[in-house]
């Protein structure tokens, strides 16, 4: 009888020890799981903490400016410790210089600066459009007293342009349409912001420029529009990204494009308010921005038509000798982020 009681007590003790061991193991596992989760969470925070996205824009561009004004970037990224820093440039070529110096992650530029950058080996990809026009948003303007009434009248005259920009490309196409070359003009390369003053002073006879500067010049009353780019194939100005950033943070690229798409849709539905915000931000007249909204499609998508138009531009620049080697531009166009963001025509 006593032996049976001892056996029962021993079994009970063993069961108690087993339960303690089971509890200890469970606590250890849960503690380890919590530690793993905490470590993963800390890792997720450290992944972006302090990251600054360096974004180049120009006064003629709307999406990033509106997104900043409305707080969209902050709303999307602040919780992740990410900041989007907008840097304003007068035109595309200085943006490309900043890319070459490693100072930018993204930029909004005309197709010509981007194509020349790729041809020169700068490690960027084209990831979206930001501005597409039928050509009416850029044009050749001439002083009223210059005697230039038609395109053929520019032979031998002083014509200003900003080298490496969409205005440069339009100039080449205009000359080609008249069987003229750059050697038939007195070409003067000026910074975009210096063209209005040069026209007013009479140091140039004509210039090629784009919105909103085109309307600003015409509203001064001392110059007139000779011809715009209507009739030439549509082509998009584009968003470019540094390859290393695109590879390291593909999920952030998708989120950035979603923010810009949201901004574009808002501005399209609130043109008057957008015009006021942009004019206050840059000092460019509201009427000039209103002209931009009339002439330009600010949607981001890159469909086959837009991609083919960009490829045609690369071929045109090769034929003109602007780039030395023929490019297969489609190798440098990556629409995967647009697709993941659900941005289509």
Q: Are residues 172 and 254 in the same domain?
A: no
Tokens standing for 290? 């209103």
Confidence of residue 18 (pLDDT cuts 50, 70, 90): very low
125 and 243 share a domain?
Answer: yes
Segment 191-238, tens digit of pLDDT: 888 999 999 999 999 999 988 889 999 999 999 999 998 887 667 899
Question: Would the CA dihedral through 19, 22, 28, 30 be positive or negative?
Answer: negative
In which domain, by residue range, is 191 found? 138-228
pLDDT in tens, 256-292: 999 999 999 999 999 999 999 999 999 989 999 999 9
Determine the longest span between alpha carbons in the chain, in angstroms: 129
Name residue 140's beta-bridge partners: 208, 227
Domain stop point among 169, 194, 228: 228
3-state SS of 136-191 is CCEEEEEECCCCCCCHHHHCCCEEEECCCCHHHHHHHHHHHHCCCCHHHCEEEECC
Q: Are 195 and 163 in contact (CB under 8 A)?
A: no
> Could you tell me if 249 and 123 lie in one domain?
yes
**DSSP character for 233?**
P
- Rounded Cα–Cα distance for residues 208 and 195 (Å): 9
2 and 129: one domain?
no
Could you tell me the two tokens for 334? 């990556």
Overall number of domains in the chain: 3
Output the pTM of the full model.
0.79
Q: Please check whether residues 7 and 61 belong to one and the same domain.
A: no
pLDDT at res. 160: 96
Tokens, residue 69? 């004004």
Both 244 and 101 in a single domain?
yes
Residues 156, 92, single domain; the answer is: no
Chain centroid to CA 116: how far?
Answer: 16
User: Of the candidates 201, 228, 255, which is a domain's last residue?
Assistant: 228
User: Is residue 45 over pLDDT 80?
Assistant: no
Q: Are residues 206 and 89 in the same domain?
A: no
pLDDT (tens digit per residue) in 100-157 = 999 999 999 999 999 999 999 999 999 999 999 888 889 999 999 999 999 999 999 9
Do 21 and 103 lie in one domain? The reply is no
Please indicate whether residue 92 or residue 26 has the higher confidence score (pLDDT): 92
pLDDT at position 60 over 50: yes
Is residue 296 located within the same domain as residue 336?
yes
Phi, psi of 111 (to 5 degrees): -65, -35
* Angle 71-285-69 from CA coordinates, rounded to 5°: 0
pLDDT of 173 over the 60 cut: yes
CATH code, 321:
3.40.190.10
SS3 316: helix
Share of the chain above pLDDT 70, in %: 86
Contact 112, 92 (CB under 8 A): yes
């Amino acid at each position: 009888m006593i032996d049976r009681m001892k056996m029962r007590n021993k079994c009970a003790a063993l069961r108690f020890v087993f339960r303690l061991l089971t509890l200890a193991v469970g606590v250890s596992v849960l503690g380890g799981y919590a530690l793993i989760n905490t470590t993963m969470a800390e890792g997720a925070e450290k992944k972006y903490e302090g990251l600054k996205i360096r974004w180049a824009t120009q006064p003629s561009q709307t999406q990033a400016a509106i997104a900043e004004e409305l707080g969209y970037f902050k709303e999307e990224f602040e919780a992740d410790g990410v900041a989007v820093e907008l840097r304003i440039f007068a035109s595309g070529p200085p943006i490309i210089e900043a890319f070459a110096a490693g100072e930018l992650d993204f930029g909004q530029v005309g197709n010509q600066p981007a194509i020349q950058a790729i041809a020169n080996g700068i490690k960027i990809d084209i990831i979206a459009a930001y501005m597409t026009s039928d050509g009416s948003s850029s044009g050749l303007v001439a002083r009223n007293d210059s005697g230039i009434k038609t395109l053929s009248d520019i032979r031998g005259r002083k014509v200003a342009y900003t080298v490496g920009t969409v205005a440069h490309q339009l100039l080449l196409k205009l000359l080609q349409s008249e069987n003229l070359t750059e050697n038939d003009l007195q070409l003067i390369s000026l910074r975009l912001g210096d063209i209005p003053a040069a026209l007013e002073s009479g140091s140039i006879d004509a210039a090629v420029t784009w919105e909103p500067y085109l309307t600003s010049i015409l509203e001064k009353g001392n110059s007139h529009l000779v011809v715009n780019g209507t009739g030439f194939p549509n082509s998009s100005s584009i968003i470019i990204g540094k390859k290393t950033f695109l590879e390291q943070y593909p999920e952030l690229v998708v989120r950035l494009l979603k923010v810009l798409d949201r901004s574009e849709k808002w501005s399209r539905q609130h043109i008057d308010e957008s015009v006021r915000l942009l004019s206050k931000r840059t000092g460019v007249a509201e009427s000039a921005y209103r002209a931009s909204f009339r002439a330009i499609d600010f949607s981001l998508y890159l469909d086959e038509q837009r991609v083919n138009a960009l490829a045609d531009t690369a071929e045109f620049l090769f034929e003109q000798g602007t780039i030395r080697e023929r490019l297969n531009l489609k190798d440098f166009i990556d629409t995967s982020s647009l697709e993941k963001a659900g941005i289509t025509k």
